[in-house]
Amino acid sequence: MSLGAIRRARRMKLEPDRCFDCGDCVSVCPVDAIRLQAGAISVDQERCVECGVCWRTGVCPTSVFEPEDLPWPRLLRALFSDPATEHRRTRLAGRGMEEIKTNDVRRRYVGDWVGVAAEVGRPGVGASFRDVQCVTQAFAEGGARFVADNPLMELIVDPARGRLDPTILDERVLSVIVEGLVPVVALEPTLRALVEACSRLSAPVLLSVAGGHDIDGSMSYRPVLAAMAFTCLPTGKMNLGFMA
């Protein structure tokens, strides 16, 4: 399996012969993958999310970080973490999708359909696709319909159960946005399934709800949020908050 459209991903390839262990690069890594220990610089490849910050900033005076082609499935780290890497499906960079708040102008939320999104991970923390699968399974359990043009859809092999390609579960990224559509009648079970799933994760998850309103300003999903003790802000973007 390959997502293609990767001309040159920025793998953290350290050239030790040019490194004199100044430590300037340590502070720019958003996931603490670059470390200065016992006077020597090292890169923790398991923590590294291939965001390319160490390479793009040019912080290294001797340019020890160099671009390198990424194999599958590691290239997913760049696709979801490097803002300079373009996704073939969306033609957008980084996580590869527009924010959920733009979907109203595309008439995505009509009738009793409501948008629910979960951003798994954050810069400085990150998340694994195993964390993401926990959330996608909760979406499926609650009855959500995954948004087709989200780049994550290429990685979901069983949409009915929210299961991802098992070969990618240990790959880490800065964050992934899971987006779904649910009818109002399924909103409460979907949110409860998500809250329960988030309680089992060490990665932070930001839950969001988005939808339209009638001409009189009423929102069909507002009573559901009120019953769950979520404050709804009718005139602006509303996030339910971090769950960890």
Q: Does any domain span residue 86?
A: no
CATH code at position 138: 3.30.70.120
Q: Which two tokens stand for residue 34?
A: 């670059």
Q: Does any domain span residue 8?
A: no
pLDDT of residue 187: 93
Residue with tokens 């373009």: 86
Contacts of 90 (CB under 8 A, 6+ apart): 96, 97, 149, 151
Per-residue pLDDT of the chain (244 residues; tens, 9 = 90+): 334 433 344 455 566 778 888 999 999 999 999 999 888 888 898 999 998 899 889 999 988 887 778 888 998 998 888 877 766 666 666 554 555 545 554 556 667 788 898 999 987 889 999 999 999 999 999 889 998 878 888 899 999 999 999 999 999 999 998 999 999 999 999 999 999 999 999 899 988 888 777 777 777 888 898 899 887 765 555 555 555 4
Q: Does any domain span residue 107?
A: yes
Q: Does any domain span residue 130?
A: yes
The beta-carbon contacts of 25-32 under 8 Å, at least 24 apart in sequence, are: 25/54, 25/59, 25/60, 25/65, 28/53, 28/54, 28/57, 28/59, 29/53, 29/54, 30/123, 30/124, 30/174, 31/123, 31/124, 31/125, 31/126, 31/172, 31/174
pLDDT of residue 7: 36
pLDDT of residue 89: 63
Question: Which residue range forms the structural domain that includes residue 223?
Answer: 100-243
pLDDT of residue 108: 66
Residues 162 and 221 in one domain: yes
List 116's β-bridge partners, or say none.
180, 209
Q: How far is the C-alpha of 173 from the C-alpha of 82, rounded, in Å?
A: 9
What b-and-e string marks burial along 77-92, b requiring 16 or more CB atoms within 10 Å of the CB? bbbbbbeebbbebeee
pLDDT of residue 219: 78
Q: How far is the C-alpha of 76 from the C-alpha of 11, rounded, in Å?
A: 11
Q: Which two tokens stand for residue 106?
A: 């595309």
Quick one: CA dihedral 225, 230, 236, 238, positive or negative?
negative
Residues 196 and 112 in one domain: yes
Residues 119 and 225 in one domain: yes
CA distances (Å), 150 to each of 40, 146, 232, in order?
Answer: 41, 8, 25
Residues 23 and 115 in one domain: no
Q: How far is the C-alpha of 134 from the C-alpha of 64, rounded, in Å?
A: 37
State how many domains the chain has: 2
pLDDT of residue 66: 79
pLDDT of residue 10: 47
Q: Does any domain span residue 82?
A: no
Strands 127-128 and 113-120: unpaired
CATH code at position 37: 3.30.70.20
- Quick one: how far is CA 46 from the chain centroid? 18
Q: What is the DSSP string of 95-114?
A: T-S--GGGGGGGT-S-TTEE
Q: Does any domain span residue 206?
A: yes
